[in-house]
Structure 1
Amino acid sequence: MTSTQTPAVASAAAIAARAKARTDAERRPGRIGASIDTFGRTTRLGASALRYAVTDIVSLRFPLREMLSQAWFIITVTAIPGILMAIPFGVIVSTQVGNLVHQLGASSMIGAAGGMGVIKQGAPVATGLLLGGAGAAAIAADLGARTTREEIDAMRVMGVDPVQRLVAPRVIAMLVVAPLINILIIAVGIVAGYLVAVASLDVTPGSYWMSFGAFATRIDVWVSLIKSMIFGLLVVVVGCQRGLEAKGGPRGVADGVNAAVVLSVVAIMVVNTGITQVVNMFYPMRMG
């Protein structure tokens, strides 16, 4: 009996495997198309929010109170974590780079290496990750809760565009807060690296600041600030898009928050790689 059933079972398993392979092959183009469609909706949302922000500011109809409220909220949830992140980052960069440079007999270059690492990479990436972890999550949760309670639909019925009323103020608030957080992380990170270099690596204060000033230029600072604003724009647009498209009650809001954080982090890393390559191509590191 067993010998007669074994070929039938194997045939059924083979048929099921082929059916599953066909289903996966059919779903794959659908998933790619859905991803492209989501990217398009997110891009349109960001463009619409910027357009509304510019036109409302010019016509003096911009909801300034909402923007200030959102900006203050973002500062409260990112300022202290930014300081706590900048201190160990500055210490780690100064220690690791300092040990290597010290073995090469160029301890006076620790200031340049540590400071440039914080300005060009550490500060903007840390700013983006903070805004993505705290800002995007809070924005997605807020807008997602309003969507599931049908407040967004009620606004549309009353003729109020939620992009103009809710998304645009958050975009401007993020663009204002992102460079401020970036400056805070730069200052704290450089000071932390300086203290470690002087206290642990026997670097004189004068040589540290002299080497830092010889390589740090205004372009590096401006690039860092622009990168932080770009990361902030990515974070707020992704958070708003995930929140406005939340479905399924509290579970949908939680999924939207999770997706907003993950997509923000991935987008920041990809965009940072591209910006770094372009900047190094046109503005290589040189002495100021």
Structure 2
Amino acid sequence: MRALRENAADTVLSSLGTLGRAARSGFVATRVVAEDLARLRFQWREAMQQAWFLITVSALPGVLMAVPFGVIVSAQVGNVVHQLGANSLIGAAGGLGVIKQGAPLATGLLLGGAGAAAIAADLGARTIREEVDAMRVMGIDPVQRLVAPRMVAMLFVAPLLNILILVVGMVAGYIVAIAALGVTPGSYWESFGAFATPVDVWVSLIKSVIFGYLVVVIACQRGLEARGGPRGVADGVNAAVILSVVSIAVVNTAITQVVTMFFPTRVA
């Protein structure tokens, strides 16, 4: 029992320490980005290169994830709504499901998987090769040179990927509703327009940006803290992906509760 208590205490303290370091890293990186933008010395070229890399590793998987997600939402919701005799509400239920939960969650999971792994692996490899230490010796801030461009790139790519998944998911759900469930096109879009509001889209975009911010902070922090050679890099990548996914799930629950309180679904 004593060993169990000590292990639990060490785990809690280690988790709090990791949370504190990640929060500090995020604050410092955000401050550096703001200062570089204000002084017109931000590395836009590096940021655009990182943004293009993130797009190449996440755009196609995003489309492939959006199609089955839209189909599943329309099929499951359509079966329930059909039993209630309210086929005209399939558009509203399916569309809101994709906008409010499907698109931002899929965006966060893709960025937390492909994006976090790529960033953590890159920074981890630089760390174990002592490139980061060499930067500090030469007076170059690693946060300014490595973290800031990746943060801006992630915040730029996240809403774009969210919009892509949103559009593809809704089109897939629409096709299923028309072809398999017998819903008329006019009824589908009329019910969707009656319930959906611009606030739903803005909340979806804001959630994707928040998820992207969490992913890039966690990935950069785990990459810069990599130790112990290639095994340390692998552990850092694994931790970055797991922490990103868990953080996204927790934050999404909190945001959903807050948004539901202040912006309840409009009844047509």
Correspondence 1:241 to 2:221: yes
What is aligned with 1:34? 14
Question: What is the aligned length?
Answer: 268
1:64-96, Cα deviation, whole Å (9 max, x unpaired): 111001000000000000000000000000011
Partners in 1 of 2:234 and 2:21 — Cα distance?
20
**Structure 1 match to 2:70:** 90
1:229 to partner: Cα distance = 0.4
* Equivalent position SS for 2:40: coil
Shift of 1:152: 0.4
Runs of 4+ with deviation above 4 angstroms: none
Aligned to 1:209: 189
The corresponding residue for 2:50 is: 70
Instruction: For residue 228 of structure 2, give the secondary structure of its aligned residue in structure 1.
Output: coil
Deviation string 1:242-269 (CA, Å, 9 cap, x unpaired) is 1000011000000000000000000000
Query: Which of 127, 142, 148 is 1:162 aligned to?
Result: 142
Deviation of residue 34 (structure 1)? 1.6
In the TM superposition, 1:1-288 aligns within 5 A as 21-287=1-267
Decide whether the 8 Å contact of 1:170 with 1:236 is kept in 2: yes
Distance 1:76 1:287 in 2: 40
C-alpha distance in 2 between matches for 1:113 and 1:154: 55
Counterpart CA distance in 1 for 2:67 and 2:3 is 51
Rg comparison, structure with higher value: 1
Amino acid in the other structure paired with 1:259? A
How much does 1:28 deviate?
2.4
Q: CA–CA distance in 1 between the matches of 2:3 and 2:178?
A: 63
Q: Name the % identity.
A: 72
Give 1:287 shift: 4.2
Are the counterparts in 2 of residues 216 and 287 from structure 1 also a CA contact under 8 Å?
A: no
The farther-off stretch of 37-46 and 25-34 is: 25-34
Considering only aligned residues, what root-mean-square deviation do their CA atoms show, in Å? 0.9
C-alpha distance in structure 2 between counterparts of 1:167 and 1:139, whole Å: 9
**What amino acid does structure 2 have at the position aligned with 1:145?**
A
Instruction: Give unmatched runs, 5+ long, in structure 1.
Output: 1-20
Mind listing any 5+ residue stretches in structure 2 that lack a counterpart?
none
Q: Deviations over 1:42-84 (max 9, x none)?
A: 0010111111111101111101111001000000000000000
Give the whole-Å Cα distance in 1 for the aligned partners of 2:23 and 2:143.
Answer: 13
CA distance in structure 2 between the partners assigned to 1:274 and 1:30 by the alignment: 27
Please give the TM-score of this superposition, normalised by the length of structure 2: 0.98
Cα separation, 1, equivalents of 2:164 and 2:7:
46
Report the Cα distance in structure 1 between the residues aligned to 2:193 and 2:63, rounded to whole angstroms: 23
- TM-score when normalising by structure 1: 0.92
